[in-house]
Amino acid sequence: MNLPLRTLGVAPNAWTVNDAIADITRPQKTPQPVILSTETKTLRLDLAKAAILVIDMQNDFCHPDGWLAHIGVDVTPARQPIEPLNNLLPELREAGVPVIWLNWGNRPDLLNISASSRHVYNPTGGGVGLGDPLPSNGARVLMAGSWAAAVVDELEELPEDIRVEKYRMSGFWDTPLDSILRNLGKTTLFFAGVNADQCVLTTLCDANFLGYDCILVKDCTATTSPEYCWLATLYNIKQCFGFVADSQAILTALQKGEE
């Protein structure tokens, strides 16, 4: 009698097994090729192998009562990706592209955070730094589970989305992000969020170094840094690390498929 097979793992990195058999062929998902126009080349990519990383669209970086605003930064630019993301994310979900929220959210004890990292957020040692309560609402700065680390209310984080806490500017450093993407069979990554020249760029660079295909979604990304930082980021991504497109080009690709 043939015994039923049960699935172990997450497709496409999954086996099917029973008492006698382990099928380790890992059947691939059905390809979903589309044509995407970018600022340098036209890409033919497979949506079945794609995911979007939405980086640091959280209260501490994007809300007027968050940490960046507390230290005097104008967060208006950091809020610019909200509208285009609200247009793009539902269409990507509909196409089966996972949405991964990559937010800075530290351990309460900060045991994995070095003095040099803490210095970035509290250079005098006497200010409001990592883990300290914000004077406006008491939320602990960049702390996992706090208001400070939550996605801004204007963006909807759905139950089927994936959330990964990060502890450095790069979302690949000391996190499960790479393992999650490899289990899901994702090799093409869209990048969105803030700040473009810091957390978005360093995450994108690490993705490139790990062999992922990288596409920055230009209008879904922003920075509170000076304009030259934004321009240098775009230049370096197109020159060295991947491609730059906008959300409308992605929406067009989703609508047309591969013609």
Provide the β-strand partners of residue 253: none
Mean pLDDT of the chain: 96
Note down the domain range covering 251.
Answer: 31-256
* Nearest residue to 3 (alpha-carbon basis) of 25, 14, 18, 22: 18
Sign, CA dihedral 189-168-102-177, equals positive
Residues 6 or more apart from 156 whose CB is under 8 A from it?
86, 89
User: What pTM was estimated for this model as a whole?
Assistant: 0.95
Q: Give the CATH number, domain containing residue 252.
A: 3.40.50.850
Q: Flag whether pLDDT at 258 surpasses 80.
A: no
Indicate whether 22 and 69 sit together in one domain. Answer: no
Confidence of residue 1 (pLDDT cuts 50, 70, 90): low
Chain position carrying tokens 């097979």:
5
Main-chain phi, psi angles of 22, to 5 degrees: -125, 110
Provide the β-strand partners of residue 221: 193
Confidence of residue 3 (pLDDT cuts 50, 70, 90): confident
* Nearest residue to 98 (alpha-carbon basis) of 171, 190, 175: 190
Indicate whether 21 and 130 sit together in one domain. Answer: no
Count structural domains, the chain.
Answer: 2
pLDDT, tens digit, 9 for 90 and up, residues 211-229: 999 999 999 999 999 999 9
DSSP helix/strand/coil, 54: strand
Q: Specify the pLDDT at position 162.
A: 98
Indicate whether 11 and 136 sit together in one domain. Answer: no
Indicate whether 137 and 14 sit together in one domain. Answer: no
pLDDT, tens digit, 9 for 90 and up, residues 58-92: 999 999 999 999 999 999 999 999 999 999 999 99
Cβ count near 46 (within 10 Å): 19
